[in-house]
Chain A
């Protein structure tokens, strides 16, 4: 069935380093991808999105890369800060699913001082 999965359940980085969080998806019909950040006790917070006709999109300190050939998505966080510590989810939609988001399993990012 359809699934979106993350390679690494936990990622530990030093403050100031760059972080890379990866995500694999299996639904070839996926057309839209989103990264969410979820802090303890809060709902997922939108970080950045990318449409399938793009390979790369940049935001403030974040970059999302999409490789449709191998169905892989990554989130790069530059100069990681303690406030970046959270669980990060990738999610995808396909054109036939309306607003239904299919989420990956999540990666815990821990920023060490």
Chain B
């Protein structure tokens, strides 16, 4: 099976712009979670989508949003970019059906640089 794929891999934006990142989960997986990784804050949970519905949300401002399509692909959007949004954005997929004790598999991430 192909792994989790994320596009684009690298992105440079300027403050105030918005950005959309895409994640394609492993075939058959219906849960997609997003994480932000920075040197200062580490890996932090953004949100989880399952069957096109947001199932969990972390402590991020409303500028961070996401959605999931019927084929389980997910996108996350960050509006009004700030310098502090520079980070590696990771998505992880799982079946979403095995309860909380199920393994999540991560993609390679999208490296976002905000200038």
Chain A interface (Cβ within 8 Å of chain B)? 31-32, 34, 36, 41-46, 49, 51, 89, 91, 93-95, 97-106
Contacts and interface: CB of A to CB of B under 8 A. Distances in A.
Given A31-B100, A89-B43, A93-B100, A99 B105 contact: no
B103 A100 contact: no
Contacts of B74: none
Q: Is the interface of B mostly helix, strand, loop or mixed?
A: strand
Interface of B: 4, 31, 33, 35, 42-45, 48, 50, 55-56, 58, 90, 92, 94, 96, 100-109
A5 to B, nearest CB: 10
Given A99-B48, A100-B56, A34 B103 contact: yes
Contacts of A101: 33, 35, 43, 45, 92, 104
Given A43-B108, A45-B106, A98 B101 contact: no
A32 B100 contact: yes
Nearest to B108: A43
Contact of B104 (A41, A99, A102): A99
- Which 9 residue pairs spanning A and B have beta carbons closest together? A43-B106, A103-B43, A32-B101, A98-B56, A44-B106, A100-B45, A99-B48, A43-B108, A100-B56
10 contacts: A31-B101, A43-B109, A45-B106, A98-B55, A99-B48, A100-B33, A100-B48, A102-B45, A103-B35, A103-B42
A106 B42 contact: yes
A32 B96 CA distance: 15
Contacts of A98: 48, 55-56, 100
Given A97-B56, A99-B33, A43 B96 contact: no
Contacts of B4: 43
Contacts of A31: 100-101
Contact of A43 (B48, B100, B107): B107
